[in-house]
């Protein structure tokens, strides 16, 4: 059990490093990390703590920018909770399906214009629509990134646990 936690945490930290290298806007491992930790870390507290620490540490490197960060952090938390739905059901179809849904939920939540100052988007229906329209290119990249990194994380975990004796599941 302890070896599996170390493996999962190691994969999360490795994936986090890809956030720190040049990438398309929003093509990052964050959504996949949130889903993976929610699905794979048995202890719910640790399933929330580990990815938030990875996010926060990488944000310290990238740069924290103010109270507005609360919105994406809450969206990240929602994605972790969606990962709980994958517990013991992390097959290919489920992972890809929940990954796509979580990308859309994150987009809808974080681009809701009423969370932001009026100077960015007016707090009107037009402002909300403008915020969503402006975010569509980022949604496309986020969706591609979430699908890519979810495949990489869940796939790597699966391959390691069936091929490396230290991490093989007990029969």
**171 lies in a domain?**
no
**109 lies in a domain?**
yes
pLDDT of 85 reads 94
Number of domains in the chain: 1
Give residue 165's region: left, alpha or beta (phi > 0; psi -120 to 50). alpha
**pLDDT of 151 above 70:** yes
Burial class (CB in 10 A: 0-12, 13-18, 19+), 2: exposed
pLDDT of 101 reads 97
Domain with 84 in it: 2-166
Chain-wide mean pLDDT for the chain? 91
Reference 102, options 25, 37, 15; nearest CA is 37
When mean pLDDT is compared across 43-57, 67-81, 88-102, the lowest value belongs to 67-81
pLDDT of 171 reads 47
pLDDT of 170 reads 57
pLDDT of 123 reads 87
**158 lies in a domain?**
yes
């Amino acid at each position: 059990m302890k070896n599996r936690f170390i493996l999962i945490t190691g994969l999360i930290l490795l994936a986090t490093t890809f956030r720190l290298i040049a990438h398309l806007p929003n093509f990052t491992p964050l959504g996949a990390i949130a889903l993976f930790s929610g699905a794979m870390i048995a202890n719910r507290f640790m399933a929330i703590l580990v990815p938030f620490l990875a996010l926060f540490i990488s944000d310290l490197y990238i740069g924290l920018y103010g109270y507005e960060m609360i919105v994406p952090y809450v969206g990240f938390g929602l994605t972790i909770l969606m990962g709980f739905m994958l517990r013991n059901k992390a097959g290919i179809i489920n992972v890809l399906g929940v990954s796509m849904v979580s990308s859309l939920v994150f987009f809808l939540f974080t681009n809701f214009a009423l969370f932001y100052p009026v100077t960015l988007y007016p707090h009107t229906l037009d402002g909300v629509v403008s915020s969503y329209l402006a975010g569509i290119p980022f949604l496309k990249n986020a969706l591609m990134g979430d699908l890519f990194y979810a495949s990489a994380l869940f796939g790597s975990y699966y391959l390691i646990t069936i091929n490396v004796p230290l991490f093989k599941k007990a029969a």
